[in-house]
A and B are shown apart, each in its own frame.
Chain A
Amino acid sequence: MKYEMEELVPIVGKLAEKYTAHESSSITYEKAEQLMGAVLYCIHEIEEMGCHSLTLLNKEMSAQKAYEIGATYVEEKAKKALHFYHKILPKFDHYENQCLYDTFIKVLPEFFRRYDVRFEPQNTVVILDYPVLKDISAYTGIDKIYEFIACIRLEQKFLHVFPANYIINILSKYNKYGKESIDNISEVVFINVIGHILAEKSLTKFDLEKADYSYIQEVFMQTDLNAINKRLENAVETFVKNYCENDGELLSYLSDTISGILIRLKNAVDNKAIESMI
């Protein structure tokens, strides 16, 4: 969707008047750029809305109209994200990880307090230190926060399958400074699950033994990575089906990480360091 500058400029002008509450007839370049960014962000938001909006766009919607619809959508998204956040909060567990706690409990409320939905919706306002498994670096503003909260929801759903102590043990085994680490904790747990699947060992047995590691080593040496990938995808599908209400989003979230984890495991096997990973 492309609009000419001539169409966008009057929208920025009107927004600038609202910004100054009609009490100032000029603004700085920085502020003007910020407001233009706000207009473009809202218009871009329509593209995220899917088919319904695209139909509207095909009917040559004016830039003003596109901005208005986009702005409403941004506002609704902010409300939805807050609702989403409050829904996760009661059962939220950070499993003693300080980074997750700080980001979710301290930083996100700060975002909702300071987010300027009308004049600077493109500003993410806060820094999300906790790394989720999905790459959300291309997003800004409420889009980024919404995606982050959605990822945390999926991660919490996955982690809630296990007893809290079980997870805390895995994390401390993985990294003795686990409480202060900025690793994604569900990835650490997921690697452990993958280890159990590869070793064909029940998840109820916490520790993998020497024989299990040797078995995993054998698997990597004798089987093609694609085949292991396929096997793991099937196993994860069964896991999600049985323990996570067959949540398709969670399945896709976890499955997307398998190939990356496998490469790291293969590397660990090649360097005989598999025990430090699982």
Chain B
Amino acid sequence: MEKDWMILLQQQNQLEKVMRTNQKTERFHLSLTEQDAKVILEERKNSLSEQKRIEFGEGIATKIIYEFCDSDYIDQSNYVETIVRLQEIFYQYKNEMQDEITDDELLHLMKEQFETICFGDFDYLESTCLANFAQAIRAGYDGYKSSDGYGEYLKFDEVKRWDYELYLETLKELCWR
């Protein structure tokens, strides 16, 4: 009963808005049926409730769709599942980052890492990349405000990545030996 008014606050018709994203995503060969949109919105409700958050206004589902629709790791077969998972991660990290980061900054950060570091791996995005970054934010880091969330992760990356020069050198040696 106590939370009834919170339910009212987020009971806004977003179905139409989610369906409208098809206009843009179709050129990436992605589209949602009304049933898919309902699943996304239903899962959104569960994620919000799990993370003890309420959403107002346009909501995040459409923003996630627009941000990720050109991803190399999303196709029609995993489209709905991916959006649902990204929604979950998004709300979780809004909390973990103590609402210090805006929606756009977090989406830019997620997208960039999803594409270039995680190569489509949700678990890596969730439990490594975003976890590291959330820790930095909680410790007071705010550099993402000037970069709008772009190009941030490498500052906190603890893993030694590919050294491309060394890779090419080794490749040359192997091929031309």
Contact = CB atoms under 8 A, between A and B. Distances in A.
Contacts of A36: 5
Contact of A13 (B9, B48, B103, B104): B9
B55 interface: yes
A24 B103 CA distance: 5
Nearest to B11: A9
A16 B58 CA distance: 13
Nearest to B106: A24
A5 B8 contact: yes
Given A6-B8, A36-B5, A26 B56 contact: yes
B94 A32 contact: no
A35 to B, nearest CB: 10
Interface in A81-122: none
Contacts of A5: 4-5, 8
B154 interface: no
Main secondary structure of the interface of A (DSSP, over half): helix
B63 interface: yes
A22 B57 CA distance: 9
Interface size class of B (residues with CB under 8 A): 20 to 34
Contacts of B120: none
A17 B54 contact: no
B9 A32 contact: yes
Nearest to B54: A32
Given A23-B102, A23-B103, A23-B104, A28 B53 contact: yes
Interface in A1-24: 5-6, 8-9, 12-13, 16-17, 20, 22-24
Nearest to A24: B103
B56 A25 contact: yes
Contacts of B3: 29
Interface string B87-104: 000010011000100111
B133 to A, nearest CB: 17
A32 B5 CA distance: 10
B102 A24 contact: yes
A27 interface: yes
B136 interface: no
A13 B57 CA distance: 7
A16 B56 contact: yes
B57 A25 contact: yes
B94 A26 contact: yes
B9 A28 contact: no
B171 interface: no
A32 B57 CA distance: 14
Interface of A: 5-6, 8-9, 12-13, 16-17, 20, 22-29, 31-32, 36
Q: 6 nearest interchain CB pairs? A: A23-B102, A26-B55, A13-B56, A5-B5, A9-B8, A29-B52
6 contacts: A20-B99, A25-B103, A27-B56, A28-B53, A28-B54, A29-B53
